[in-house]
Copies of this chain bind each other. A is one copy, B any other.
């Protein structure tokens, strides 16, 4: 497969992006990389890290999208940016998947628009998923792209989540749950009451009902659905708790001599626990509802996170996540016809 990589997106671009993409390529072997971005800067990064040219292409993009820019610029003034050119190459069949650590807003606008034609037919809104590193990985969808949605869009997110959990997280028959403020069907705002009804009626979906906040960390579902406002709060609160715990453990185990001794005894378990809480492990956030896999890596990604995101893009591509979503959508339409 050929993965298009926006070399200029993120806080540590292009060096860490280029290095991470190369690390991913080495690990995966049968993958080629097509970088978009400032050719000179990309070549300099390659030289710095002794990265050979085999399997690597560069398409020069004269500009890049800054984090604070209006996301709509990807459709107009910044069509010559590394991100816009990456999406255009994807549209034109020059690659099989796309990875960027740049502006989330611009990437969603681009992936949703007719300019780049990467949205699947019938999909109303491109969703953005996030894998929460808990007891077992849980896909949260929508995690922030769409702050106001309809029940029909919630159902489409359910299909997207199911496909991603199956294809990438390796869950055979994913349990899909709806975030809510209680277990009963009548709970929540109108959106949640109607979404519950729709999800329950849908046949090719293992809907397990509402899930309350307290059950999210306990692995009671594989896919957790909500609107993007609530999803963003859940995602960031989970990140915040991860940091909070790390800080507290550090205080407890690094602050006193007793603590330092204790830390020696549980060194390897502690390391495992910390790595489990780390968001880097599952790569970036998948955009879902597109024809081709698109991965949004965190803006602060360093090489190791980009490496994970490359492997994630490959898994997404090889397991046919996008086709699964398209098939489920078709099947549903046939059932309704």
Please report the C-alpha to C-alpha distance between residue A266 and residue B134 in the assembled complex, in whole angstroms: 25
Structural contact, A228 and B181, CB atoms closer than 8 A: yes
What's the least CB distance linking A232 to chain B, in Å?
A: 4
Given contact pairs A234-B213, A269-B252, A244 touches B135 in the complex (Cβ within 8 A): yes
**What total of chain A residues lie within 8 Å of the partner, measured CB to CB?**
48
- Mask: chain A, 245-264; 1 = CB below 8 Å from B; 0 = not: 10010001100101101111
Q: Does A122 contact B (CB under 8 A)?
A: no
Please report the C-alpha to C-alpha distance between residue A256 and residue B232 in the assembled complex, in whole angstroms: 37
Given contact pairs A147-B188, A240-B217, A259 touches B269 in the complex (Cβ within 8 A): yes
Please report the C-alpha to C-alpha distance between residue A147 and residue B179 in the assembled complex, in whole angstroms: 14
- Mask: chain A, 120-162; 1 = CB below 8 Å from B; 0 = not: 0000000000000011000000001001100000000000000
Structural contact, B244 and A270, CB atoms closer than 8 A: no
What's the least CB distance linking A78 to chain B, in Å?
A: 20
Please report the C-alpha to C-alpha distance between residue A70 and residue B142 in the assembled complex, in whole angstroms: 33
Please report the C-alpha to C-alpha distance between residue A281 and residue B310 in the assembled complex, in whole angstroms: 46
What's the least CB distance linking A226 to chain B, in Å?
A: 8
Please report the C-alpha to C-alpha distance between residue A7 and residue B278 in the assembled complex, in whole angstroms: 46
What's the least CB distance linking A213 to chain B, in Å?
A: 3
Please report the C-alpha to C-alpha distance between residue A258 and residue B263 in the assembled complex, in whole angstroms: 10
15 contacts between A and B (CB under 8 A): A147-B181, A181-B229, A213-B235, A213-B237, A213-B238, A214-B240, A216-B237, A216-B240, A218-B240, A229-B230, A233-B234, A245-B245, A252-B266, A262-B262, A262-B264
Name 20 extra pairs, CB < 8 A, besides A192-B229, A213-B236, A258-B266.
A134-B244, A147-B189, A179-B233, A181-B236, A188-B229, A212-B236, A213-B239, A214-B236, A215-B236, A217-B240, A217-B243, A218-B244, A230-B233, A233-B234, A241-B241, A252-B266, A259-B269, A262-B262, A262-B263, A262-B266
